[in-house]
Amino acid sequence: MIQADRVSFHYLHADHGLPETSLRVQAGEKWLVSGASGCGKSTLARCLSGLIPHLYRGLLSGEVILNGFLTTETPMWKLAEQAGMLFQNPSAQLLAATVEEEIVFGLEQLGCERAEISKRVAAAMHSFHLEEFRNRAPQTLSDGEKQKLALAAVMARDPKVLILDEPLSMLDITAEQELIQELERASGEGTAAIIFEHRETQLRLLENLNRIELNGNSPPQHTLAPCPSWTPIPPFELRLRNLGVTLGGKRVLDQLDVDFHGGEIVAIVGRNGAGKTTLLRSLAGLQKHDGALNLQGDGEPLQLGLVFQNPDLQLFNASVREEILFHIEQPDPDYYQWLLDVLGLTRYDQAQPLLLSEGEKKRLGLGTVLMRRPRHGILLDEPSLGQDEAHKKTLMDLMQHVAHLGRLVVVTTHDLELARQADRVILLGAEGIAGDGPAAEIFARQDLWKSIGLKRTQEGPLAGLPPTEGK
């Protein structure tokens, strides 16, 4: 079905690409391609789908045969009939005016009859629970919903090979399980699936999953040096009372009552579209809201630094140094150096931020916020996205450092491995907070997870994870 023989690719004007790799995938097989950040997973995905060499310029060697078609000699539209590809960033790849039209687009290119298109659109919407969004603009969906839509658009074309680049990155565990069911169904019908993913947790549920690991440069594991101190602040409490947010006429958050304390790491977990990011934006003072947000115990105004999901929103300076030190008066050189070391960016001190890998950019985005030493703590929106295990561990260590300084750390995540390491977990559902307590306690309460629509599998919501250790 797919035969890649000694394929390698080097992008023009870039020092990264794909080292020589071979892969042979038969009909109905499922493959997991893993590897550290920047090891070339996305490049391999592009080589297999034919986007390399059709859309990218660079040095390609070896060959890829996709269902009998040599990718270098076959037009892209014909390759697209064989393989469906899902990209990392669902937000940027949606190109139609409505959810329905997004799915229709690919079917129009196949030349399907109108009745056939209607049938396939209905089936795809049903499989991914998108019926209620049929006439919505894709850009108004949450990131997780966009991911589901992008998947639905790919699967509706009924390709013989599915090439999925980080398909789980934005999905909650219920949506992950639904995707896995879809993959099993497609596999049963002879469709091969190649999944490029950092998060293996739920993928372990796939039957007969084959694996290939690409070699990459993982950061060395080391214990963090003590952090140069931040200004001590008194213990504080942040009280949210009757917090509510309305977006586009829809009540996203309603009458939320919750307390946060300095020195704790709080993970907010919930279904796609539950309002997790909106809650973070409210805490950061970027979102208009009803209700009260009161800081107790510290007389200074509330100051929380928000680290956004997409680092490209923030980076604009000529070097990493300038980026981190931007608008910092009298920067502390020791602290700056400590940050670079912790974030694994030491060798990029003078590098152009926009040329870093996505994972590195994300860590740089965190660095720009931490350098400002926000008085009351940091808020992180899906920080583990695109990070390999080693970098996730570094991230967790860093969050613990900040919490030990008496600051608050609030993180929204679908990554349950990350969430279970927090001090406290808040389960956010459509009806508000469904569960709030120590991580071990919340993870033990299957009923709470079920109440917000996070499906229970045979092994529970943490299927595939090692047993929970008490914190």
Partner 1 sequence: MIRLGTRRSGRVAFISDSPFRRVDPRTKLLLSLGASLAIMYPLQKLMIFMLIYAIFLAWGHLLIEAGRQVWRLKWVLLVLFCIDWWVVGPDLAVSVVLRLIFLAGAFAFFFSTTTTTELRLALEWLRVPYRYAFSISLAFQSVGYLEEQWQMILEAQQSRGAWSPDGSRTNILRRVREMVALTVPAIVLTTKRAWAVTEAAYARGFDSPHYRPYQALKMSRLDLILLALMGFIGAGLVLWKGFIF
Binding site for partner 1 (CB under 8 A): 49, 51, 54-55, 76-77, 80-81, 84-85, 87, 89, 92-98, 101, 104-114, 117, 135, 137, 139-140, 150, 153-154, 157, 246-249, 281, 284, 286, 305-306, 308, 310, 312-316, 326-327, 354, 368-369, 372
Cβ contact 433:427 at 8 Å? yes
Q: Tell me how far, at minimum, the Cβ of 429 lies from partner 1, in Å.
A: 19
Cβ contact 16:357 at 8 Å? yes
Q: Tell me how far, at minimum, the Cβ of 121 lies from partner 1, in Å.
A: 9
* Nearer to partner 1 (CB atom), residue 136 or residue 239: 136
* Nearer to partner 1 (CB atom), residue 81 or residue 178: 81
Q: Tell me how far, at minimum, the Cβ of 273 lies from partner 1, in Å.
A: 10
Q: Which tokens hold the place of 370? A: 């931490």
Q: Tell me how far, at minimum, the Cβ of 92 lies from partner 1, in Å.
A: 4
Distances (CA, A) of 99 to 89, 102, 109: 17, 5, 17
Q: How far apart are CA 72 and CA 367, in angstroms?
A: 42
Q: Tell me how far, at minimum, the Cβ of 95 lies from partner 1, in Å.
A: 5
Q: How far apart are CA 197 and CA 384, in angstroms?
A: 12
- 3-state SS, residue 444: helix
* Nearer to partner 1 (CB atom), residue 9 or residue 443: 9
Q: Is the peptide bond before 53 cis (omega within 30 degrees of 0)?
A: yes
Q: Is 347 exposed, middle or buried (0-12, 13-18, 19+ CB in 10 A)?
A: exposed
Q: Tell me how far, at minimum, the Cβ of 218 lies from partner 1, in Å.
A: 26
* Nearer to partner 1 (CB atom), residue 139 or residue 458: 139
* Nearer to partner 1 (CB atom), residue 201 or residue 287: 287
Q: How many residues does the chain have?
A: 471
Q: How far apart are CA 247 and CA 228, in angstroms?
A: 41
Cβ contact 263:236 at 8 Å? no
Q: How far apart are CA 224 and CA 426, in angstroms?
A: 28
| Phi, psi angles (nearest 5°) of residue 150 | -60, -40
* Nearer to partner 1 (CB atom), residue 109 or residue 346: 109
* Nearer to partner 1 (CB atom), residue 379 or residue 425: 379
Q: Tell me how far, at minimum, the Cβ of 109 lies from partner 1, in Å.
A: 3
Contacts of 193 (CB under 8 A, 6+ apart): 29, 30, 31, 161, 162, 164, 183, 186, 187
Q: Tell me how far, at minimum, the Cβ of 278 lies from partner 1, in Å.
A: 9
Tokens 């970098």 identify what position?
A: 391
Query: 54, 56, 44: which is closest to 74 by C-alpha?
Result: 54
Q: Tell me the one-letter amino acid at 443.
A: F
Tokens 């049929």 identify what position?
A: 134
Q: Tell me how far, at minimum, the Cβ of 102 lies from partner 1, in Å.
A: 10
Q: How far apart are CA 287 and CA 269, in angstroms?
A: 20
* Nearer to partner 1 (CB atom), residue 399 or residue 439: 399
Q: How far apart are CA 300 and CA 262, in angstroms?
A: 14
* Nearer to partner 1 (CB atom), residue 136 or residue 450: 136
Q: Is 122 exposed, middle or buried (0-12, 13-18, 19+ CB in 10 A)?
A: middle
* Nearer to partner 1 (CB atom), residue 117 or residue 195: 117
Q: Tell me how far, at minimum, the Cβ of 365 lies from partner 1, in Å.
A: 8
